[in-house]
Amino acid sequence: MPPTRTRRRRLSLALAATLGAVSLGAVPATPSASAGTAAAAADPGYLVGRGISDVTGEAAETGMMGYSSFDQKTSGIHQRQRSRAFVVVDRATGKRVVYVNADLAMIFQSVQQGVAARLRERFGGLYTEENVLLSATHTHSGPGGYSHHLAYNLSVLGFQSGTYRAIVDGIVESVVKAHQDVRPGTITLGTGTLTNASVNRSRTSFDRNPAADRAAFPGAIDPAMTVLRLRQGAEDVGAISWFATHNTSITNKNTLISPDNKGYAAYAWEHDHEGVRYLEDKPGFVSAFPNTNAGDMSPNLNLKPGSGPTEDEFENTRIIGGRQLAKAREVFQDADTAITGSVDSRLVYVDMENVTVGGAYTPDGREHRTCPAVVGASTLAGSVEDGPAIPGFTEGMRTPIAHIVDALKVDVPDWLATCQYPKAGLVPTGLLDHVHPVTPRILPLQIVKIGQFHLVAGPGEFTITAGLRVRRTVAQQLGVPLEHVLLQGYANAYSQYVTTPEEYDAQQYEGGSTLYGRYTLPAYQQEYARVAASLRQGTPLERGTAPPDESARQFSLQTGVVYDNPPAFTSFGQVLTEAAASYQRGGTATVDFVTGHPKNNLRRGGTFLEVQRLVDGRWVRMLDDGDWQTKYRWTRINGLTGTSKATITWDIGADTPPGTYRIVHFGDARSLLGTITPFTGTSRTFTVS
């Protein structure tokens, strides 16, 4: 390989390993401001709506987003990913906000732009970037390739349009459902603490913070659970439960799509407790489990991947998710603080590489500047508690290891190295935009107000102390108690980590991944204070220049589906490995089918499988591929001949009703001419006792 290509590959590998840790029906009438005022006189509450939709992308042969492992490609589905949306309307003014939480690794700016464009087509100016907050749970077990920035698509072999469309379409659908669902309602707030679902994975950095900051977190974790309880009339219709922990109970060895611990918590509340069946597509209880300032919070309680409280990553997912669920339901029942007051929002676009930060926000009281983005060498170490490391790189690297950094042949100018000090500069992504947008420069900073409750939308991963400082700044500017301000991480865009200046100096993984230098957090504090002042004063805010739409500059090195072909003397849907005649509860039923590539039809809003039970002479769906007890796994048998199989497993729960069952597989096959044909396969019937 020529030297220039070698250097490019080294740069790609370094970036990839570093940076991932990444038409509808008619619109119902909307109350006017005057009509809203009259209605509010009779009912002082809000209009509340909720919606949910599928955002699951390509379930096979697509790189996964989060761990940036080239070897981690989707091979099926454990549980589907969902978008959960809530609309809140101020009946007195007609102002409204939308809150979305999706089972994704990140909300990239590409997604914000795509969703905003679709909502604009649908609703005109009713829903915009300013009053729509998009957030991600930060699962690391979903398909990637949906960013417009090179750094976050490298390990996925470029932009994956199928996954991107599924995400944007699903989020928009969830918002439309919430919009169509708005009814007079009320919102109450509850808080609690949860101390056994997170651990600080960067204690070395945390301990560098001043004692006054550390005192806010006695266990070096943020134990706060904040829950909004949403009602329509006297009916509970939704809950939003914020808690800071990484959504990484499942490791980078897994290749099945999963919403991880937060997705399990949402599913268990909706499905197990409220009887929601997603494929029935009718309004039901919607429960979101978003993240906050989780940058240094890990669910792996033993501080190593897939470890804690057990050594089984799926069991850990269930346990950590279950602990969040139990606490959230407890807080929900006692949520008696009424949310009252106006609904409002503000958003500004800030060039984070070029912020002059005043002394009011810097540790030494002097003016400083942010820098063009640089990926630190310690970033390549990864977070050893949650993800992989690259040999030769260690957390805490404050000066370059010459032979490693020189091999990458990426020069960081002296002025930039000085600005980023003490970071061991590795890849100056902020200087590479002329080639291709690598990491973001212009970011959306947003604050959403729902009565006395405020959400600060952060486009990155804030450590608990960084989040605390942002909350203090915003609360002071708004003149409200600290507990009325919450930092929503992974929102509207993604720009990696945000540490305090003290944490930055340690150059652990999080500090090396703080793109814009030591004064990144003070810059955020300053700019959020500006947004908060506008919100408090009720004055307009100059939006700034939004980042360009980079969709036309995307590429993919991932080959598509050429054709599917069943093995000799078989047909699509035929059973290769049959179910047993009977099973005991607690056992596992497994069936293999001849199948086609799942990229032929993502079956978004549908399923690749059903577990059916014979009830009164007819087959009734009991489970599908969104359920915890099932797994759909796709395996390529022969790439040359285009043959593959689907393996469907059902872990038969102890509460499964005795009876007669069968497993059904739904798939789609592509011919050599490109025609896609659906098919169905059905197992033998079997009994469960």
pLDDT band at residue 245 using 50, 70 and 90 as cut-offs: very high
Is residue 403 predicted with pLDDT exceeding 60?
Answer: no
- Dihedral of CA atoms 648, 652, 656, 662 in degrees, nearest 10, equals 30
Which pLDDT value is given to residue 435?
Answer: 75
pLDDT in tens, 262-277: 999 999 999 999 999 9
Which pLDDT value is given to residue 410?
Answer: 67
Residue 259: inside a domain, yes or no?
yes
Is residue 152 predicted with pLDDT exceeding 90?
Answer: yes
Which pLDDT value is given to residue 404?
Answer: 38
pLDDT in tens, 512-535: 999 999 999 999 999 999 999 999
Which pLDDT value is given to residue 396?
Answer: 58
pLDDT in tens, 538-595: 999 999 999 999 999 999 998 889 999 999 999 999 999 999 999 999 999 999 999 9
Domain boundary (314, 341, 368) is at 341
* Total domains in the fold of the chain: 2
Residue 453: inside a domain, yes or no?
no
- Is residue 298 annotated as part of the catalytic site, yes or no? yes
Residue 421: inside a domain, yes or no?
no
- DSSP 8-class letter at 165: H
Residue 137: inside a domain, yes or no?
yes
Is residue 78 predicted with pLDDT exceeding 90?
Answer: yes
pLDDT in tens, 179-210: 999 999 999 999 999 999 999 999 999 999 99
pLDDT in tens, 430-441: 999 877 899 999
Which pLDDT value is given to residue 565?
Answer: 97
Mean pLDDT of 288-316: 97
- What DSSP string describes 71-136? T-EEEEESS--EEEEEEEEETTT--EEEEEEESSS---HHHHHHHHHHHHHHHTTSS-TTTEEEEE
CATH label of the domain that carries residue 668: 2.60.40.2300
410 closest CA partner among 1, 12, 684: 12
Residue 118: inside a domain, yes or no?
yes
Residue 314: inside a domain, yes or no?
yes
Which pLDDT value is given to residue 390?
Answer: 53
Which pLDDT value is given to residue 411?
Answer: 79
CA distance 596 to 636: 9
Which pLDDT value is given to residue 38?
Answer: 40
pTM of the model: 0.92
pLDDT band at residue 351 using 50, 70 and 90 as cut-offs: very high
Residue 237: inside a domain, yes or no?
yes
Between strands 630-638 and 582-583, the pairing is unpaired
Residue 352: inside a domain, yes or no?
no
pLDDT band at residue 30 using 50, 70 and 90 as cut-offs: very low
Is residue 398 predicted with pLDDT exceeding 80?
Answer: no
Amino acid symbol at 424: A
- Dihedral of CA atoms 313, 315, 320, 325 in degrees, nearest 10, equals 140
Domain boundary (287, 310, 341) is at 341
Collapsing DSSP to helix, strand or coil, 665 comes out as: strand
Which pLDDT value is given to residue 433?
Answer: 81
The residue annotated as part of the active site, out of 83, 174, 298, 534, is 298
Which pLDDT value is given to residue 377?
Answer: 78
Query: In the numeric block, which tokens belong to residue 552?
Result: 């036309």
Domain boundary (317, 341, 365) is at 341
CA distance 262 to 489: 14
Which pLDDT value is given to residue 579?
Answer: 98
Which pLDDT value is given to residue 384?
Answer: 64
Which pLDDT value is given to residue 281?
Answer: 83
Which pLDDT value is given to residue 393?
Answer: 54
Mean pLDDT of 375-399: 61
Ramachandran angles phi, psi of 664, nearest 5°: -120, 135
The side-by-side arrangement of strands in the sheet containing 485-488 is 343-351, 442-450, 453-457, 485-488
Asked if residues 140 and 252 have their Cβ atoms less than 8 Å apart, the reply is yes
Range of the domain at 228: 3-341
- Return the percentage of the chain with pLDDT > 90, whole number: 85
Is residue 142 predicted with pLDDT exceeding 90?
Answer: yes
Mean pLDDT of 118-124: 98
Mean pLDDT of 34-58: 72
Residue 606, exposed/middle/buried by CB under 10 A (0-12, 13-18, 19+)?
middle
